[in-house]
């Protein structure tokens, strides 16, 4: 994979990744090395400290045993000898353990040599101590004392001197370890600085190379864009780069080629526009004449519509008046129907009352009949009583006579009431028929009122519709006048369009495209049709509306005119149609895509 073909983002990420990895590696190495040196120094210091502590203890134990030995030899008390004998042996064993522990700490050659000296001097001291004790045991106290002073004490001093030299040797080793640690740290620091310097140099070299790889294609793209800005579209640049700059160069080259094709098309279009503008002017003249004729017809139509509107409005007013009269008649008929219904209700009440009177008379007749029966029974009982019941018989006879007269009167009243009930029923039936007839009259009047109302509504709608038609005609008249003004403006616009086409042809003449032929030859030869003067249409003059007689004619029901119908339909403009543009003959034929020409 070629690094120069990588995308810019990939290049930057690779550079940043290399820097990060190098810095991380350096940091990890420096940290690991510092930790290693520190661990080694810590281990050395710990070991040296342990040796110094053990040697110091060794010195103390030796001095203690030396003092005990002197006391043991110089003292004549058996108790002292008994007390120090075991202590000296125990301390000697402890010293032997300390010596073994020091020897097991991994000594250096110098340490081993010093330990050999210490061991030899210790052996000499132990031998002299044994000899002195043996001499004293033999009873030679003076010789033993002289041995202690002349031989044992110098041997002890030599032994202690060797031990102290060992301690100094360990202290010197610790100091040397500190110096070595500082030196190792200094080496690590110098190595890190050198590595950082190398990384910085590599970064500078990589930055120079990356800047150069970015700056060079940018310079090429800038030069190509500058030449395009100057109008030179004949440049040809090839780039094999696969990154964004290669895409930019190819895009600029594609833009240059597209601009060249567009300039050719613009020049061809200017001739077509010039031809089309001349045809637009001719069409505007025809449209102006047709617009004047349309305006005259619309004025006549408006006058007729005004007369028709007046007639329909008068019919609507008459329908409104008839509707009011029908409404009044309906109200009177409804009132008559209400009165008849009240009479029918009154007759029904009288009929119910007559029936109740007949029932009461029937009750009275029943009472008289029962009274007659009771009087007859009383007469029979009085006859059975003989002389004692004679007076009661007379009373019963009178009561019977009264009951018979009451029954006769009740029968006559019942007959009269029955006749009255029949007449009342007949009258109620007639009144009910009259109420039904009045209801029919009321319904008929209501239907007549509704029909007249519908006629009135239809007349109103007709008046409204004709008014809308009249308004639409007025709007058409106004639009026609506006169209006439627009025709004049369109003619002026066509002339301006022709002039702009010439200016556009001169503007694109500065461009150079593939082929070698400049646009100057094309800019100086616009079509003859474009140079032809454009005739200005005559100004529109509204014609006076003709006077019409107010003839009353049947007018059909108006229909609502949609708003879209009030707009004048635009005449087809043949001069601007695509076939016409396609048929426009260019002044200069276009060259092939493979040729290079300037125009």
Residue 380 sits in the same domain as residue 446 = yes
Q: What is the CATH number of the domain that holds 485?
A: 1.10.287.950
Q: What is the 3-state secondary structure (H, E, C) of 303-365?
A: HHHHHHHHHHHHHHHHHHHHHHHHHHHHHHHHHHHHHHHHHHHHHHHHHHHHHHHHHHHHHHH
Q: What is the pTM of this model?
A: 0.32
- The alpha carbon of 56 is separated from its chain's Cα centroid by a whole number of angstroms, namely 84
Distance CA 132, CA 166 (A): 28
Distance CA 148, CA 139 (A): 15
Nearest-5° Cα angle at 233, 232 to 234: 95
Give the other-Cβ count within 10 Å of 550's Cβ: 8
Residue 211 sits in the same domain as residue 251 = no
Q: Specify if 234 maps to a domain.
A: no
Residue 134 sits in the same domain as residue 259 = no
Last residue of a domain, one of 207, 222, 237: 222
Cβ-Cβ contacts under 8 Å for 533 (sequence gap 6 or more): none
Give the other-Cβ count within 10 Å of 207's Cβ: 11
Q: Which DSSP category does 556 fall into?
A: P
Q: Specify if 167 maps to a domain.
A: yes
Cβ-Cβ contacts under 8 Å for 38 (sequence gap 6 or more): 181
What is the per-residue pLDDT for 53? Answer: 79
Q: Which DSSP category does 512 fall into?
A: B
Residue 197 sits in the same domain as residue 270 = no
Task: Yes or no: say if 467 and 308 are a contact pair by the CB < 8 Å rule.
Answer: no
Cβ-Cβ contacts under 8 Å for 336 (sequence gap 6 or more): 438, 441, 442
Residue 495's Cβ-count burial label (10 Å; 0-12, 13-18, 19+) is middle
Residue 475 sits in the same domain as residue 507 = yes
Q: Specify if 228 maps to a domain.
A: no
Q: What is the largest CA-CA distance in the chain?
A: 211
Residue 467's Cβ-count burial label (10 Å; 0-12, 13-18, 19+) is middle
Residues in the chain, overall count: 599
Distance CA 7, CA 4 (A): 8
Name the residue among 172, 190, 62, 178 with its Cα closest to residue 125: 62
Q: Specify if 590 maps to a domain.
A: no
Residue that the structure tokens 């003839």 belong to: 551
Backbone angle region of 516, left / alpha / beta, with phi > 0 → left and psi within -120 to 50 → alpha: left
Q: Which domain holds residue 515?
A: 245-583
Task: Yes or no: say if 277 and 501 are a contact pair by the CB < 8 Å rule.
Answer: yes
What is the per-residue pLDDT for 535? Answer: 45
What is the per-residue pLDDT for 83? Answer: 66
Q: Nearest 10 degrees: CA dihedral of 567, 571, 573, 574?
A: 150
Q: Specify if 179 maps to a domain.
A: yes
* DSSP H or E stretch at residue 376: helix 244-385
- The alpha carbon of 276 is separated from its chain's Cα centroid by a whole number of angstroms, namely 48
Residue 423 sits in the same domain as residue 361 = yes
Residue 51 sits in the same domain as residue 147 = yes
Residue 561 sits in the same domain as residue 480 = yes
Q: How many H-runs (helices) and E-runs (strands) does the chain carry?
A: 10, 0
pLDDT of the chain along its 599 residues, tens only?
555 666 666 667 777 787 888 778 878 887 777 777 777 767 766 777 777 777 778 888 888 878 777 777 776 666 666 667 778 878 888 888 887 877 777 677 887 888 888 888 888 888 888 888 888 878 787 888 888 888 888 888 888 898 888 888 877 877 777 787 788 778 878 888 888 888 888 888 877 877 777 777 777 777 778 777 777 666 666 666 666 667 777 777 777 777 777 777 777 777 777 777 777 777 777 777 777 778 777 777 877 777 777 787 777 777 777 777 777 777 877 777 777 777 777 877 777 777 777 778 788 878 878 887 877 787 787 777 777 777 777 787 778 788 777 878 877 887 887 787 777 778 777 777 777 887 777 787 777 778 877 777 877 877 788 778 778 877 877 888 787 777 777 777 877 877 787 777 777 776 666 654 444 444 444 444 444 444 444 444 444 444 444 434 443 444 444 443 334 444 434 433 333 433 333 433 334 434 333 32
Q: Specify if 232 maps to a domain.
A: no
Q: Specify if 593 maps to a domain.
A: no
Residue 452 sits in the same domain as residue 345 = yes
**Total domains, the chain:** 2
- In degrees and rounded to multiples of 5, residue 512 shows phi and psi of -115, 125
Cite the DSSP H helix spans in 230-243. none
Q: What is the DSSP string of 22-64?
A: HHHHHHHHHHHHHHHHHHHHHHHHHHHHHHHHHHHHHHHHHHH
Residue 300 sits in the same domain as residue 362 = yes
Distance CA 473, CA 259 (A): 52
Task: Yes or no: say if 450 and 376 are a contact pair by the CB < 8 Å rule.
Answer: no
Structure tokens at 579: 């076939």
Task: Yes or no: say if 98 and 62 are a contact pair by the CB < 8 Å rule.
Answer: no
Q: What is the CATH number of the domain that holds 34?
A: 1.20.120.1730
Residue 355 sits in the same domain as residue 405 = yes
Residue 260 sits in the same domain as residue 176 = no
Q: Specify if 397 maps to a domain.
A: yes
Residue 592: strand, helix, or coil: coil
Task: Yes or no: say if 502 and 529 are a contact pair by the CB < 8 Å rule.
Answer: no
Name the residue among 541, 503, 481, 495 with its Cα closest to residue 282: 495
Nearest-5° Cα angle at 230, 228 to 236: 35
């Amino acid at each position: 994979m070629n690094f120069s073909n990588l995308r810019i983002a990939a290049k930057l990420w690779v550079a940043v990744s290399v820097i990060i990895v190098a810095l991380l590696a350096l940091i990890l190495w420096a940290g690991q090395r510092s930790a290693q040196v520190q661990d080694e120094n810590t281990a050395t210091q710990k070991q040296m400290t342990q040796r110094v502590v053990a040697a110091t203890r060794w010195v103390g134990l030796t001095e203690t045993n030396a003092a005990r030995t002197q006391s043991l030899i110089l003292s004549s008390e058996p108790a002292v000898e008994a007390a120090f004998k075991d202590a000296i042996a125990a301390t000697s064993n402890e010293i032997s353990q300390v010596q073994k522990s020091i020897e097991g700490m991994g000594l250096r050659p110098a340490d081993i040599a010093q330990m050999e000296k210490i061991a030899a001097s210790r052996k000499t001291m132990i031998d002299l101590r044994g000899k002195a004790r043996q001499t004293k045991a033999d009873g030679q106290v003076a010789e033993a004392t002289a041995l202690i002073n002349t031989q044992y004490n110098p041997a002890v001093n030599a032994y202690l001197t060797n031990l102290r030299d060992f301690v100094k040797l360990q202290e010197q080793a610790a100091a040397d370890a500190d110096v070595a640690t500082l030196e190792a740290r200094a080496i690590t620091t110098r190595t890190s600085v050198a590595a950082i310097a190398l990384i910085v140099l590599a970064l500078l070299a990589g930055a120079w190379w990356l800047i150069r790889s970015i700056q060079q294609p940018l310079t090429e793209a800038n030069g190509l864009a500058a030449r395009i800005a100057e109008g030179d579209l004949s440049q040809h640049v090839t780039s094999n780069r696969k990154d964004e700059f290669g895409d930019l160069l190819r895009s600029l080259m594609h833009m240059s080629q597209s601009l060249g094709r567009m300039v050719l098309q613009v020049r061809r279009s200017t001739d077509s526009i010039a031809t089309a503008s001349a045809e637009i002017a001719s069409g505007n003249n025809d449209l102006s004449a047709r617009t004047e004729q349309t305006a005259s017809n619309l004025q006549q139509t408006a006058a007729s519509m005004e007369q028709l509107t007046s007639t329909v409005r008068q019919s609507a007013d008459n329908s409104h008046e008839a509707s009011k009269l029908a409404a009044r008649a309906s109200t009177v008929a409804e009132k008559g129907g209400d009165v008849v219904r009240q009479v029918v209700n009154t007759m029904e009440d009288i009929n119910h009352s007559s029936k109740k009177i007949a029932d009461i008379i029937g009750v009275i007749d029943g009472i008289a009949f029962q009274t007659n029966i009771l009087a007859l029974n009383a007469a029979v009982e009085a006859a059975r009583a003989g002389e004692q019941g004679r007076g009661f018989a007379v009373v019963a006879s009178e009561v019977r006579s009264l009951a018979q007269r009451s029954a006769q009167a009740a029968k006559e009243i019942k007959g009269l009431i029955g006749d009255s009930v029949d007449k009342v029923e007949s009258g109620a039936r007639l009144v009910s028929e009259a109420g039904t007839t009045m209801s029919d009259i009321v319904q008929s009047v209501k239907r007549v009122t509704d029909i007249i109302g519908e006629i009135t509504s239809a007349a109103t709608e007709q008046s409204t519709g004709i008014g809308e038609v009249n308004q639409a005609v007025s709007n058409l008249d106004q639009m026609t006048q506006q169209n006439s003004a627009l025709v004049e403006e369109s003619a002026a616009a066509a002339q301006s369009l022709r002039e702009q086409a010439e200016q556009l042809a001169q503007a694109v003449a500065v461009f150079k495209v593939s082929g070698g032929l400049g646009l100057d030859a094309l800019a100086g030869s616009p079509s003859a049709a474009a140079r032809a003067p454009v005739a200005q249409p005559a100004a529109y003059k509204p014609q006076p509306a003709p006077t019409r007689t107010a003839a009353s004619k049947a007018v059909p029901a108006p229909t609502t005119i949609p708003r879209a119908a009030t707009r004048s339909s635009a005449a087809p403009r043949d001069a601007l149609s695509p076939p016409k543009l396609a048929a426009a003959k260019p002044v200069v034929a276009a060259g092939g895509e493979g040729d290079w020409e300037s125009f």
